[in-house]
Structure 1
Amino acid sequence: MRVGMLLRGTYPDDIRVRKEAAALREAGHEVYLLCLAGEGVEPATVDGVAIERIDWDGYRASIRAVNRASYLFGSFDGIWFRRARRFAAVHGIDVLHVHDLPLVRTGLRVARSLGGIPVVADLHENYPAAMAQYRSERSLFERVRARLLRPLSRIERAEREAVREAEAVVTVVEEALDHYIEDCDGDPDRVHVISNTVDLDRIDALERTPVPEDVPDGFVVSYVGAFGPHRGIETLIRALSETPEVVSLLLVGAGSEASDRRLRRLAASEGVADRVTFTGWVEFEDVPRYIAASDLATVPHRETDHTATTVPHKLFQYMALETPVLVTDVGPLGRIVRETEAGVVVPPEDSAAVAAEIAGLLGGERTGYGENGRRAVETRYSWARDGERLRQVYDGFA
């Protein structure tokens, strides 16, 4: 079959999209991708995936403004509709695979205009809950503006439509599957879990040494990823003040200038600024060296409707690199870590519990966590299994 993917982002930056495209190509499908243009000269083909790109800056400001209004009030993107319809017609697309909720309604209309080709709605996250979470972190003016221009009820309506009308819905964890079935009236036979597990061949091919120069000495507790209040990094900083001085915190990643300042101020107020290292943004290929150099890797999410229905790639990256993990008891995080015995689980936003677990690990109570995690990503939580599940979804269209 000829699979046409729609991605409202750049490629090949999205790890999940890249893995899925590779899995489908391995099954003999042809994969075409329509995505946004990035900067500079970009290849027309990546790993056998033929790519077309939309240059947003190539459209007049007036056209972009009308398109923006159409999307805000109707969840329909006219520019994407015209480009996706031509893309699908030119390449003779048999199945339209739409990544994430913002483009699903547009993708469904494209499919109908071409005679009703099947649509796979690949919902990377609980999008309405994510929007509610991100908006809560904005200024009062921005929250009011968002509520007026694009209320959450409108986004939830688009989500229900996507789940009901797509021929298949793909999500990342069982908790999200339950949400789409129970809250969106999804057909259980059409909702499938394809998780954010890691491609072991790719991650094992990356270097784990030498240790980066900015990794501190002593017992290193790390966090990898973007910064933001819902990530729970504040809990790690507060916990650090309750641990021995041999413990340091390594923050691998970046956020907005405001979030960076907030975390640095908190570290100073807690008296641990000299024990917190900010690396700044790190290329994906270099991340394993930081994880491998850590004694404990963390996912300290706060509990929200969003974090309760998703799981980040980083958890499985930690496990693949045999690093013990500490996660908060939020949705799938606690479930997976308890089930695999890959580390420890603490209540969300409980710095005392985090400090106590670190003290226990300092005392040598981490035997087997790393090995258990690695074993889990080689068996139950492996991309080999998730890739096969994706191929089975497509077998249903044959």
Structure 2
Amino acid sequence: MQKPLRILMLLENNPYLKDIRVRQEAQSLAKEGYAVTVICPHSKGRFSHDVHEGVRIYSYPPPPGGEGLIGYAVEYGYSLVMAFFYSLYCFLRRGFDVIHAHNPPDLYFIIARMYKLLGKTFVFDHHDLSPELYRYSRFGEEGSEKVFRALMGLEIATFKAADYVIATNVSYKQVALERGQRKPEQITIVRNGPDMAKLATAVQALEPVANPPGKTVIGFLGIIGFQDGADYLLHAVNELVHTHGRTDFLCRIVGDGAAVPSLKQQVDEQNTGDYVEFVGWVPHTTVPRYLQSFDICAAPEPKNIYTDQCTMIKMMEYMSVAKPIVAFDLTEHRRSAGEAAVYAQANDPADYAAKIITLLDDADLRAQLGQVGRQRVEDELAWEHQEKALLGLYAKITTTIDRAYSSKGTIMRFKK
């Protein structure tokens, strides 16, 4: 190939600028010389064409809102249609060599299959376990078994269509090997890691958010869905106040999501409003201000088949600014944080509160755990380490495509 490899990314569940992982991947590939285009929903509900730090972005109005299975069917059906027509436009306008699809949903294999007939390569970037996400977060454990099996079928179909799979951690790699029947050489682990250079610049430029005098701040940062465990954190706050009589703290919740209204109701019912602050969503550029204001960081995801296999971006961000963590004892939490966290018994708010008290009463331990976490990020988990794995994968893909061009010419590649 004479031109740089052209990559078309498909993203459904976030606007590009709000998805940290996708943005990091796209920017790293663009800096390496790849031509990267992203198709995604727009945060302000309009069609747009932008270029951001070398990445071309085609955005469409987000799907109409809805509840339950019908709402999700409408959302995903609409997004699939929009992604297809934009992909066709990109194919006819500039062409592309690779479709790089981020889930959820596990539907983009339908588009990828069409272009694979034209010789394109399909990379599946596996962000979420959609079947488990359905069962353990969106509809509870009593969700329809038929829907669960249908989602499992779509996930398997996506794996089978994929030439390469990007897994976010070891657990997801095992899913790709066992459930997806992919070979080890087809799977690359690219973790969710913070960009330490950008973080350092932001920390130097921004002052931390002010904390109330005499209060230790317990912080939660991230999307607030029903699977994210913020309700468990609030139950722990209730334990701190009404069981242990602690009033020397503030629980600062930074982020937004579907669970927020029920969380605010929970605070009212538990009469803990004086100890909980809902900040709402903040731009990613100002996130370091809030991270620096935290004295103790909360990762309250409850243990289930879904969360036990997930790597939470918030864990990496907490460690990147040397903050101690309180978490439930989950497999991937331990793989991520190691000795940088204290772990409560799974799904036990009383024990979670007890672990918070341990850190409330020991500033030296907080500092020690924070430094352990910071070192883990610098040595293993930062984006600069994950970026190498991503670029290594695309170097392999480039070599494979170059060989295809050399052996078959350009007929099957439909080079633009």
TM-score normalised by structure 2 residue count: 0.82
Partner of 2:115 in structure 1?
111
- Range 33-42 or range 361-370, more displaced: 33-42
- Where 1:390 maps in the other structure, the secondary structure is helix
Match of 1:375 in 2: 375
What's the offset of the Cα at 1:166?
Answer: 0.7
**Corresponding position of 2:403:** none
Q: Is the 8 A contact 2:28 2:387 kept in 1?
A: yes
Output the CA distance in 2 between the equivalents of 1:7 and 1:207: 29
Partner amino acid, structure 2, of 1:130: L
Of residues 348, 351, 355, the one that matches 1:350 is: 348
Contact 2:18/2:284, CA 8 A, preserved across alignment: no
**CA–CA distance in structure 2, aligned partners of residues 5 and 222 of structure 1:** 33
Aligned AA (1:18): R
Aligned Cα root-mean-square deviation (Å): 2.9
Distance 1:48 1:192 in 2: 24
Deviations 1:162-217 (A, max 9, x none): 11221101121111111221222222211221111111122222247533257674
CA 1:248–1:35: 2 relative to 1, 3 Å: closer
Which 10-residue stretch deviates more, 299-308 or 227-236?
Answer: 227-236
TM alignment of 1:269-308, pairs within 5 A: 269-308=269-308
Pair 1:226–1:28, CA change in 2 (3 A): closer
Q: Is the 8 A contact 2:236 2:352 kept in 1?
A: yes
Q: Which amino acid aligns with 2:178?
A: E
- Tell me what 1:165 maps to: 161
CA contact (8 A) 1:70 1:78 kept: no
Is 2:95 the counterpart of 1:92? yes
For residue 253 of structure 1, what is the aligned residue in structure 2?
255
Secondary structure class of the residue paired with 1:132:
helix
Distance in structure 1 (CA, Å) of the matches to 2:212 and 2:394: 44
Which residue in 2 is equivalent to 1:211?
208
Aligned-partner Cα distance in 1 for 2:217–2:269 = 21
Query: Per-residue displacement from partner, 1:136-163 (whole Å, max 9, x unpaired)?
Result: 259x9xx6xxx59x82222211111211
Residue correspondence of structure 1 range 173-322 to structure 2 within 5 A: 173-207=169-203, 209-213=206-210, 217-240=214-237, 241-242=239-240, 243=244, 244-256=246-258, 259-322=259-322
In the TM superposition, what is the alpha-carbon distance from 1:360 to its structure 2 partner?
1.9
Structure 1 residues 215 and 81: CA distance shift in structure 2, 3 A: farther
The Cα of 1:92 is off from its aligned counterpart by: 2.4
CA distance in 2, matches of 1:69, 1:297: 37
Could you say which residue in structure 1 is the equivalent of 2:132? 129
Point out the more displaced range, 286-295 or 216-225: 216-225
Specify the code of the residue in structure 1 equivalent to 2:32: A
Q: How many residues in Structure 1 have an aligned counterpart in Structure 2?
A: 377
Q: Does 1:2 align with 2:6?
A: yes
* Aligned partner letter, 1:3: I
Give unmatched runs, 5+ long, in structure 1.
Answer: 60-64
Contact 1:45-1:51 within 8 A present in 2 as well: yes
**Does the CA contact (< 8 Å) of 2:216 and 2:249 recur in 1?**
yes
2:28 corresponding residue in structure 1? 23
Q: In the TM superposition, what whole-angstrom CA distance separates every residue of 1:253-310 from its partner, at most 9, and x where no partner exists? A: 2233xx3343234334444221111112222222211221111001110112221221
Give how far 1:38 is off: 3.8
Deviation per residue, 1:338-394 (Å, 9 max, x gap): 2xx212111222122222222222332334111111111111111111111011111
The question of whether the paired residues in 1 share the 8 Å contact of 2:208 and 2:289 is answered with yes
Residue 219 of structure 1 aligns to which amino acid in structure 2?
A: T
Change (3 A) 1:232 1:52: closer
State the secondary structure of the residue aligned to 1:80.
helix
Asked if 1:331 corresponds to 2:331, the answer is yes
The partner residue of 2:40 within 31, 35, 50 is 35
After alignment, is 259-268 or 97-106 more displaced?
A: 259-268
Counterpart mapping for 1:70-85 below 5 A: 77-85=80-88
- Inter-partner Cα distance in structure 2 for 1:289 and 1:124: 27
CA change 1:131–1:56 in 2 (3 A) is same
Letter in 1 for 2:355: E
Matched, 1:156 2:152: yes
Deviation at residue 14 of structure 1 after TM alignment: 1.3
Q: Which amino acid aligns with 1:313?
A: I
CA contact (8 A) 1:227 1:260 kept: yes
Which residue of 2 is the match for residue 62 of structure 1? none
Over 3 Å counting, the alpha-carbon distance change for 1:46 and 1:175 in structure 2 is same
In structure 1, distance between residues paired with 2:196 and 2:75: 42
TM-score, length of structure 1 as denominator length: 0.85
Q: CA deviation at 1:76?
A: 9.9
Q: Distance in 2 between matches of 1:233 and 1:219?
A: 18
